[in-house]
Homo-oligomer: A and B are copies of this chain.
């Protein structure tokens, strides 16, 4: 599966399509994110295993960001079933020690590029309203995503679901 025709080099990170061997590195990114915990790791693990065990054209797509040969971040995205070309960004995460150096930006740019190449019409992102996710929300806004909807107390009381939305065509 080739989710990028060629690796995308930025000044700070190399973004490439993930391979089945990247599972442990992706897990480490989550565990070193200061954002996600073991239940998130289990959820991402299940999605990663499913990607390779039951490959489908509309399945999950994975990118990793590398610096100096080490995986420092990843993104998981893909088409949403039962929609006409709406894509979801399910996960984007950079290890906390590697933040503020453009890896998240490079991952999001590559995911958008891939979605555009596959005629995506919309991209939608679901994220938390809480302060630790403020940098992520700022990243989405910087890429032209609009905060179009809020589901109150979705994750837990006081932690809303914020839905970001960008039209691609």
- Using CB atoms and an 8 Å cutoff, list the residues of chain A in contact with chain B: 39-40, 43, 81-84, 86, 121-122, 124, 148-157, 163, 165, 167
Contact = CB atoms under 8 A, between A and B. Distances in A.
Contacts of A39: 81-82
Nearest to A155: B83
Count of chain copies: 2
Contact of A82 (B40, B152, B163): B40
Contacts of A82: 39-40, 43, 155
The winner among A151, A152, A155, A165 for most chain B CB atoms within 10 A is A151
Contacts of A43: 81-82
Nearest to A50: B50
